[in-house]
Amino acid sequence: MRLSQMQIGQSAVIKKVRADEPIKGRLFAMGIAKGNRITLLDHTLKKETFEVEVEGTRVALRKEEADAIEVEANDEKD
């Protein structure tokens, strides 16, 4: 599942970041990396901007960035 598909309040583990540099490096610098837990705090009505919490830090992401982050929610199985 993509981060952009999560529900508000849902937490998941980051499985893969499918972004090109320099965006991938920027996301990694903010703690958005494989294995880290991420929680979707809020998004705009049209899901163009997402507010997440990762490693105790709140981060705002654009839709393109949220679409590039693959996550696995607690209820998902491989």
Domain count of the chain? 1
For the sheet containing 11-17, what is the strand order? 57-62, 49-54, 37-43, 11-17, 69-73
Question: What does the pLDDT look like over 10-66, one tens digit per residue?
Answer: 999 999 999 999 999 999 999 999 999 999 999 999 999 999 999 999 999 999 999
Judge whether 11 lies within some domain.
Answer: yes
C-alpha dihedral (48, 42, 70, 29), degrees to nearest 10 = 90
CATH of the domain at 54: 2.30.30.90
Judge whether 18 lies within some domain.
Answer: yes
Domain enclosing residue 41, as ranges: 3-73
Judge whether 58 lies within some domain.
Answer: yes
Q: Measured between alpha carbons, how far is 78 from 76 in angstroms, rounded to an integer?
A: 7
Question: What does the pLDDT look like over 1-26, one tens digit per residue?
Answer: 999 999 999 999 999 999 999 999 99
Judge whether 29 lies within some domain.
Answer: yes
